[in-house]
């Protein structure tokens, strides 16, 4: 039976014309990693509270993946950052793509305060660094649609798809997004290489590595 890894990326938001997450997962759509027996499938998600989780749930039901990796843009970050934890709160600094701007609302009413990623995030970071790609563990996915989807994903897997690994990875801007302002960025080909590494590690690692990934603040 074919092993599948589901990647998701958001459409552009916040006035941007492109979203590096969507551009990267499109590059990986349909890729077959023959050495580990994995096919990559990609799904675009709307940057919309509620609807994004609905589309994600449909994709998981359709594709029946063994790993789900959601990818999102984190402007201002210098590294590819696998996220450690999703929290049960929507608190939007800006409206989503349908004008919704929830404040202090739960992602899932009555759900737990948080879910940890089930991806081997430290092994992913270590493998990316070994390949010369800037990477580090992140301990906050924010409170916008990225965290919303991350929490929604983990709740779906916890309640409906036990045994499926899942988590979220944030990536920097692309150079063309910040050509007129002094913000960090990363080339698309580097991001794509990093995500492919994350796929390989997530699909093959039996457990995460025990190395430091914390921060002081």
Choice among 23, 66, 79, 83 that is catalytic? 83
Percent residues over pLDDT 90 in the chain: 95
3-state secondary structure the chain: CCEEEEEEEECCCCCCCCCHHHHHHHHHCCCEECCCCEEEEEEEECCCCCHHHHHHHHHHHHHCCCEEEEEEECCCCCCEEEECEEECCECCCCCCCCCCCCCCECCCCCCCCEEECCCCHHHHHHHHHHCCCCECCECCCCCCHHHHHHHHHHHHHHHHCCCCEEEEEEECECHHHCCCCCCCECCHHHHHHHHHHHHHHHHHCCCCCCCCCCCCC
Choice among 66, 146, 148, 196 that is catalytic? 146
0.95 surpassed by pTM: yes
The full set of domains in the chain, from first to last, is 3-204 (3.40.630.20)
Q: Is residue 16 among the annotated active site residues? A: no
Q: 28-82: per-residue pLDDT in tens?
A: 999 999 999 999 999 999 999 999 999 999 999 999 999 999 999 999 999 999 9
Choice among 66, 79, 170, 196 that is catalytic? 170
Q: Is residue 158 among the annotated active site residues? A: no
> pLDDT-based confidence at 126, cuts 50/70/90?
very high
Residues in the chain: 217
For the chain, the average pLDDT equals: 97
Q: Is residue 146 among the annotated active site residues? A: yes
């Amino acid at each position: 039976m074919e092993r599948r890894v589901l990647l998701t990326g958001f459409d552009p938001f916040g006035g941007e014309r492109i979203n590096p997450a969507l551009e990267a997962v499109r590059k990986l759509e349909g890729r077959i990693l023959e050495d580990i027996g994995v096919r990559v499938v990609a799904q675009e998600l709307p940057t919309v509270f509620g609807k994004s989780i609905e589309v994600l749930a449909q994709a998981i039901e359709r594709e029946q993946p063994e790993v789900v990796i959601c990818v999102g843009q984190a402007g201002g970050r210098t590294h590819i950052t696998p996220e450690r934890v999703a929290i049960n709160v929507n608190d939007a600094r800006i409206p989503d793509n349908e004008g919704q701007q929830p404040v202090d609302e739960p992602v899932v009413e009555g759900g737990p305060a948080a879910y940890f990623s089930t991806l081997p995030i430290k092994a992913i970071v270590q493998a990316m660094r070994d390949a010369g790609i800037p990477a580090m563990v992140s301990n906050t996915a924010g409170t916008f649609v990225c965290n919303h989807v991350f929490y929604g994903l983990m709740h779906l897997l916890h309640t409906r798809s036990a045994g499926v690994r899942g988590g979220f990875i944030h990536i920097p801007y692309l150079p063309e997004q910040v050509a007129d302002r002094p913000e960090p960025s990363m080339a698309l080909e580097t991001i794509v290489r990093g995500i492919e590494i994350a796929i390989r590690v997530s699909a093959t690692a039996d457990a995460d590595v025990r190395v430091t990934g914390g921060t002081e603040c």
